[in-house]
Amino acid sequence: MNDYSFQRGWFQVRTRDVSRVRNLIMAAVGITTRTAFQRRLNGDTYGTPAEHQKIEAIFNDFGITEVWGLVD
């Protein structure tokens, strides 16, 4: 399990909310490109504990509580 990936949460996002959630995460942690977002999504780039809390809060706003880990 990759503790830095938020795929588990990402794949629970409803299709209609994907763009909004991506934009919120990118703004919250200072990501400026889709490539950088993909790296963070897959856990290839590590964030700070504060950034992890921001990401968790965004997912929680959409009713998603299991955020971290890779999807099989």
User: Pick the residue with more confidence: 46 or 62?
Assistant: 62
Q: Alpha carbon of 70 to those of 5, 43, 47: distances in Å?
A: 6, 8, 16
17 neighbors 25 (Cβ within 8 angstroms): no
Q: Tokens 């830095």 appear where?
A: 4
4-55 residue pLDDT tens: 999 999 999 999 999 999 999 999 999 999 999 999 999 999 889 999 999 9
55 neighbors 47 (Cβ within 8 angstroms): yes
Residue 1: the pLDDT is: 52
pTM above the 0.85 mark?
Answer: yes
